[in-house]
Structure 1
Amino acid sequence: MTRFWFWEADSVEYEIFKKYERALVTIGVNFSLEQVQEALEACTYGLEDAFRSTIDYALWLQKNEKQVYPNAILIRALQEQWKPMAWNDEYLELPNLESPGQRWWNAAASIWGYDVRNQLVADVFYDAGTEFIKFTNGKEIKIETAWRWEWDRLFNYATN
């Protein structure tokens, strides 16, 4: 799980971060970069606006087939306290902003059914830039490995 020493796990900042983390990682933000962490630490106001602006601008750049530099965009948004131009909460539901873990989570519901998935999966989380699945039996697996395994093999792993 990505944690920053300057935010408490139950703080408003951390809650905001978790809301936008997956979309930001999916567009390419690397939260383990020192410059990104320094900008986050220095941000005392407008964190949510900066996250939204970064996502909004990255989507605009992608739509217009322009180069996206997500780390630089986030750093500038934090430092300059950008306000989002055309934010829509539905952006977080866009397929191109779904992380591989979100896509796996949705596929697991389709394959196993919602009840079975919810009984087997404790969490889908990031740790040091890698996305993992934590099963209720205590086992963990990288998302990329889960995608390579067949669903029956993964089910056995999650239940044994």
Structure 2
Amino acid sequence: MWFWEKDSVEYEIFKKYERALVAIGINVSLDGVQTALEGCTSGLEDAFRSTIDYVLWLHKNEKQVFPNAILIRALQEQWKPMAWQDEYLELPMLESPGQKWWNAAAKMWGYDVRNQLVADVFYSDGTEFIKFTNGKEITVETAWRWEFGRVLEYASS
């Protein structure tokens, strides 16, 4: 399924926007999305930015949103962003469940404890995981279900 080498520019660009794309509803495992990504030879970052920008506009204007179709068109038609701002990536609406968990962990445990226990929050095959400094991993979904006390015990042992 994966399109780019992990050390490629395309992969780096994708990773920069991955959380926002997932947060707006992009599903990279869909055949049409995969085909469009594989066929994109240039303008990848512009297509990602245009998609995010347009979906934000649609939400603001209470219009129907079909994010996968928007991304496919943006990739195929080489859309250029109209009003992109890098601050968009910091909007709460564009935070992934993992980013929300990361922020909540700092509030619950404090920044120092969170930073000592959590090595990374990352995606693998469309699922978001938390990697702890003790080498253990859990899905973000499980972390939310377990709540912070149980996760703290898991991460500390």
Asked whether the two chains share a fold, i.e. TM above 0.5, the reply is: yes
Structure 1 position 128, deviation (Å) = 2.5
Partner in structure 1 of residue 67 of structure 2: 70
Partner in structure 1 of residue 15 of structure 2: 18
Partner in structure 1 of residue 154 of structure 2: 157
Q: What does the per-residue CA deviation read over 1:86-105, in whole Å, with 9 as the maximum and x for residues that have no partner?
A: 00000000011111100110
Is 1:100 equivalent to 2:92 in the alignment? no
Partner in structure 2 of residue 136 of structure 1: 133
AA aligned to 1:117 is: R
Output the CA distance in 2 between the equivalents of 1:61 and 1:45: 25
Partner in structure 2 of residue 117 of structure 1: 114
Structure 1 position 57, deviation (Å) = 0.4
Structure 1 position 12, deviation (Å) = 0.9
Query: Structure with the greater relative contact order (CA < 8 A, sep ≥ 6): 1 or 2?
Result: 1
Structure 1 position 116, deviation (Å) = 1.5
Residue in structure 1 matching 2:37, options 40, 43, 47: 40
Range with bigger deviation, 58-67 or 126-135: 126-135
Moved over 4 A (4+): none
Output the CA distance in 1 between the equivalents of 2:30 and 2:90: 26
Range with bigger deviation, 45-54 or 121-130: 121-130
Runs of 5+ unmatched residues, structure 1: none
| TM score, norm. by length of structure 1 | 0.94
Q: Secondary structure at the match of 2:138?
A: strand
Output the CA distance in 1 between the equivalents of 2:154 and 2:135: 11
Output the CA distance in 2 between the equivalents of 1:14 and 1:110: 32
Structure 1 position 46, deviation (Å) = 0.4
| TM score, norm. by length of structure 2 | 0.95
Structure 1 position 55, deviation (Å) = 0.2
Partner in structure 2 of residue 27 of structure 1: 24
Q: Secondary structure at the match of 1:126?
A: strand
Q: What does the per-residue CA deviation read over 1:71-129, in whole Å, with 9 as the maximum and x for residues that have no partner?
A: 10000000000000100000000011111100110111111122211121111112222
Output the CA distance in 1 between the equivalents of 2:47 and 2:96: 20
Structure 1 position 133, deviation (Å) = 0.8
Determine what percentage of the aligned residue pairs are the same residue. 81
Please report the RMSD computed on the Cα atoms of aligned residues, expressed in angstroms.
Answer: 1.2
AA aligned to 1:93 is: E
